[in-house]
Structure 1
Amino acid sequence: MEKQSPKVKSADRVLDIFELFTGEKESYNLTEISKALHMPSSSAYQILQNMLSRGYLETDSTGKQFRLGNKIFEIRVQHRQSTNLTSEFYQIAGKIVDDLNEGVQLGVRSEDKVVYIAEKHVSQPFRLNSNLGSVLPLHASASGKILLSRLPDEELQALYPKKKLQTYTSNTISTFDALKAEIEKVRQDEIAYNMGESIEGVQCIAGPVYDMEGNVVAAVSISIPVIRVTDEIWENIHYWIRRACREITNKVYRQN
């Protein structure tokens, strides 16, 4: 007779909650969670509070709707740092920083946000330094627009069911129609821009990293304060973005 592995009930319940978020809903309230998992509300509440305090869950402004927190993405970031993707990124990012002395980032998609899993800092006195695992909304970032560019229109619409989008600066795209028009341009050019849409005074250019099937798996971006933008720098940034994306794609995903 095969011996069964011992099970810890509370651990099972935590995993059940995580797996609940692989469904079609982004957030659940206490009643929905306890009902879906056939768990007493009192037990569910205690587990949710523990997960909340550790950063694995977060709530909306009402405190009643639970969704996945950034902690789970931070763990994912640490794991990805050991992969070939980030290794190849750091190889080319070092060359970019040596030439431009501007910050370089590598981002991947997580639902409606871009998560930055690698970055190369610069010595400039005024620079954009984000923490690994930090996130930005897809529609308000150059990397995010790249990651949106290969989604079919139906999936794009599902991500933004409301016509009005959240704005972060006066330059942020504020409507779905405007976003869709910009995504169409990104699809054609294979380059995306953030013209002060997430942070005032900072511009960004991004390009795509493709896998074997031609899916966009990551985005490489270069950020620069607008006060340092010149025609020559702008041209060089375009050159490095295209070169970096091509080299990472070929070395990580298309080796013979």
Structure 2
Amino acid sequence: MSQQAPKVKSADRVLDILELFTGEQESYNLTEIAKSLNMPPSSTYLILQNMLNRGYLETDRSKKQFRIGYKLFTIRSGYMRNTSLTGEYYQIAERIIDDVNETVSLAIRVGNQIQYIGEKVSSHALRFNHSLGTTLPLHATASGKIILADLSMEELRDLYPTDQLEKVTDKTISTFPDLLKELEKVRTQGFGYNMGETVDGVHCIAGAVLDAEGKVAASISISIPVVRITGELWGRVHDWIKRSCEELSSKVYQQH
């Protein structure tokens, strides 16, 4: 008879809580978690506080709704750096830096946020760069718009149930109808743009990395301080985005 693996009750409960967030809801309160997992509210509270302190969970402004925290994203981005997606990306980004010397980023979607899992930074003294693992609202970034443009209206409404959107700068798209207009442009043009919507004085252009089914799996973007943008550079950046997205799609997901 096979021997059953030993179980640690507290560890099981932590994992049960984490796995709860793979469902349809992005956040739960204490009562919902305890009821869903058939756990005593008192011990559930203690486990949640520990996970909160370690960064595995975070709360909203009310401090009552729990959602996945930054620590899991950090772990995930570390893992992603070692996959073929990021490995191939860094080879391409090296060539882009050699040519245009502007910061190149690779990003994926995490819920309603964009997360940066790869970056090659410009050597200019004046430059813009994200820290790996950084997350930003999808609608405020060029890469985020690329990903949003691939979603259905139902999926978009799930992400944005109200018409008011979070503003990062005064140029960030702030209403759902305006976002829909922007996404239509993205679908038509094949590029996503961020004109000072995340950081004042920085423009960004992004394109789609497609998986084997033709869905957006990731996005490559190039960020440039406005003071350095010329027509010639802007054109070269568009060419690089198009070429690098096609190359990465082909090498990682066998897109031809």
Q: TM-score, normalised on structure 2? A: 0.97
Gaps of 5+ in 1: none
Find the aligned partners of 2:122 and 2:163 in 1 and give their Cα distance.
Answer: 38
Query: Could you list the per-position Cα deviations for residues 29-54 of structure 1 after superposition, in whole angstroms to 9, with x for gaps in the alignment?
Result: 11211111111111011111111111
For the aligned residue pairs, the C-alpha RMSD in angstroms reads: 1.1
What amino acid is aligned across from residue 155 of structure 2 in structure 1?
Answer: E
Query: Could you list the per-position Cα deviations for residues 46-80 of structure 1 after superposition, in whole angstroms to 9, with x for gaps in the alignment?
Result: 11111111110001112221110011111111111
Shift of 1:2: 2.9
Query: Could you list the per-position Cα deviations for residues 141-196 of structure 1 after superposition, in whole angstroms to 9, with x for gaps in the alignment?
Result: 00000111111111111111101111111111011111011111111221110000
Q: Secondary structure at the match of 2:104?
A: strand
Find the aligned partners of 1:32 and 1:130 in 2 and give their Cα distance.
Answer: 35
Q: Secondary structure at the match of 1:151?
A: coil
Find the aligned partners of 1:217 and 1:23 in 2 and give their Cα distance.
Answer: 20
Q: Secondary structure at the match of 1:79?
A: helix
What amino acid is aligned across from residue 134 of structure 1 in structure 2?
Answer: T
Work out the percentage of aligned pairs sharing the same amino acid. 59
- Specify the alignment match of 1:7 in structure 2: 7
Matches within 5 A, 1:125-140: 125-140=125-140
Q: Secondary structure at the match of 1:66?
A: strand
Find the aligned partners of 1:128 and 1:175 in 2 and give their Cα distance.
Answer: 26
Find the aligned partners of 2:120 and 2:237 in 1 and give their Cα distance.
Answer: 15
Find the aligned partners of 1:30 and 1:218 in 2 and give their Cα distance.
Answer: 34
Matches within 5 A, 1:1-256: 1-254=1-254
Q: Secondary structure at the match of 2:72?
A: helix
Find the aligned partners of 1:7 and 1:137 in 2 and give their Cα distance.
Answer: 39
Q: More displaced, 178-187 or 105-114?
A: 178-187
Find the aligned partners of 2:85 and 2:35 in 1 and give their Cα distance.
Answer: 41
Q: More displaced, 1-10 or 193-202?
A: 1-10
Q: More displaced, 172-181 or 182-191?
A: 182-191
Find the aligned partners of 1:154 and 1:60 in 2 and give their Cα distance.
Answer: 24
Q: Secondary structure at the match of 2:2?
A: coil
Q: Secondary structure at the match of 2:197?
A: coil
Find the aligned partners of 1:32 and 1:153 in 2 and give their Cα distance.
Answer: 28
What amino acid is aligned across from residue 231 of structure 2 in structure 1?
Answer: D
What amino acid is aligned across from residue 141 of structure 1 in structure 2?
Answer: T
Shift of 1:116: 0.4
- CA 1:33–1:255 in structure 2 vs 1: closer, same or farther (change >3 Å)? closer
Q: Determine if contact 2:212/2:255 at 8 Å carries over to the other structure.
A: no
Gaps of 5+ in 2: none
Find the aligned partners of 2:192 and 2:53 in 1 and give their Cα distance.
Answer: 37
Query: Could you list the per-position Cα deviations for residues 198-223 of structure 1 after superposition, in whole angstroms to 9, with x for gaps in the alignment?
Result: 11111100000001110100000000
Structure 1 residue runs of 4 or more that deviate by more than 4 Å after TM superposition: none
